[in-house]
Amino acid sequence: MEFTAQVIAGFLKGEIEGNPDVKVNTIAKIEEGHPGALSFLANPKYEHYIYTTESSIVLVNKTFVPASSVKATLIRVDNAYESFASLLRLVDQSRPRKKGIHPTAVIEPTAKVGNEVYIGPYTYIGDNCTVGDGCSLYPNVYIGDNTKLGEGCTLYPGVKVYHECVIGNNCIIHAGSVIGSDGFGFAPQSENEYMKIPQLGNVILEDQVEIGANVTIDRATMGSTIIRKGVKLDNLIQIGHNVEIGENTVMAAQTGIAGSTKIGRNCMFGGQVGISGHLKIASGTKIGAQAGLLGDIKEENTAVIGSPAFDFRQFMKSYVIVRKLPEFKTKLDKVEKDVEALKKK
C-alpha cells in the first residue's frame, strides 16, 4: 500500500514540513532509511541520523528543532513514537486475514464456532468449547474441553489451552505457549517421595491480554489463575498457580512468578525478575531486571532492584560504594601496615 505525507498527516493530525505529495510504501529504521520509506525520530540519541537518512518521510515530535537542514519531509506530531505505533497498527490491520476451516482440523460436535474464523491445519477443538467470532487459530493449536474463547482472539501455531480455561476478547497468544497446565503442587511424603496434588482450577485471561512465545501459565489448585485486562507478557515467562496479575501490568522476558502471588495494576517488571510465592505487590510497582523479591511491596509506585530487591535509590547509592571496594581495600591495607609499624615502635 502507498500513502502520501498528506494522508499520513491527516490520519495522525500532524503538521507537514516539506512535500505533502511525497509517497511511501514501507517503513524503516531512521538509520536504515531509503527512498519510499517512512521512519520516526523519538530518541534524541538518534538525532544525527535525521540529517543523513534517505527515508522520504520522518515523524518527529512538534518540539523537535533541527540543528541543520533535513532532506526528508517531516510530519510533526505530539508523540512520534505513539504515532508510529498507530501507523504500524493501521498497516497490520490492512493485511488480508485468513479465513475458513482447514479440512484436517478436528472440531468436536458439541463445540460452538463463531463466524469469520480461521482454524488452521491439525488444530483440535474439544467438547463443549466456544470459539468467538473473528478468531484465528493457526496450525496445531489445541483447545481443551469446556474452554471458552472470546471474539477476535489470535492463537499462533502450537498454542495449547488446557480444559476449562477462559480467554476474553481480542487476546493474542504467541507460538508455543501453554495456558492451564498443572500448577507445581506436590505434598512431601515419607522416604523423600512426593504425592501430586490435583490441580482442579483453571486460568482466566481477561480482554486484550497478549502472551508472548513459550510462556506457561499454570492452572489454579482451586479457583483461578487470573490475568487481568490489558496485561502484556513477554516471551519465556512462568506464571504459577493461583497468581493474579492486575490490569495493564507488563513483564519482560524470563520473569518467574511463584504461586498465589497477587500483583497490582500498572506494574512493570524487567527481564529475569523472580517473585517468591504468596506475596502482595502494590499497584504501580517497578522492578528492575534480575531482581529477586522475597517480601511484600505495600506502597504503590515503589521502584526496587537487586537480589534480594530493595529501594532503587538506595541500591544505586550502594552500588557506588561497591564499585569503590577495591580502592577501600587498598587504603585499609595501608592503614593496617601503618598501625603495625606504630606498634613496633
Q: Which residues are catalytic?
A: 241
Tell which residue, 204, 119, 205, 146, has the closest CA to residue 170.
205
DSSP letter for 111, please.
-
- Quote the CA–CA distance of 73 and 36 in Å, as a whole number: 11
Q: Which residues of 144-157 are buried (b: 16+ CB within 10 A; e: fewer)?
A: bebbbbbbbbbbbb
Cell of 167: 480467554
Largest CA distance in the chain: 98
In 99-239, which ranges are continuous DSSP H helix? none
- Quote the CA–CA distance of 237 and 339 in Å, as a whole number: 55
Tell which residue, 240, 301, 297, 292, has the closest CA to residue 270.
292
Torsion over CA: 236, 258, 260, 163 (sign)? positive
Respond yes or no on whether the N-terminal peptide bond of residue 66 is cis (omega within 30° of 0).
Answer: no
Tell which residue, 302, 241, 308, has the closest CA to residue 273.
308
Report CA dihedral (98, 100, 106, 111) to the nearest 10 degrees.
110
Length of the chain: 345
Q: Which residues pair with 194 in a beta bridge?
A: 188
Number of H helices, E strands in the chain: 4, 40
- Quote the CA–CA distance of 222 and 226 in Å, as a whole number: 12
Torsions phi, psi for 6 (to 5 deg): -60, -45
The amino acid at residue 72 is: A
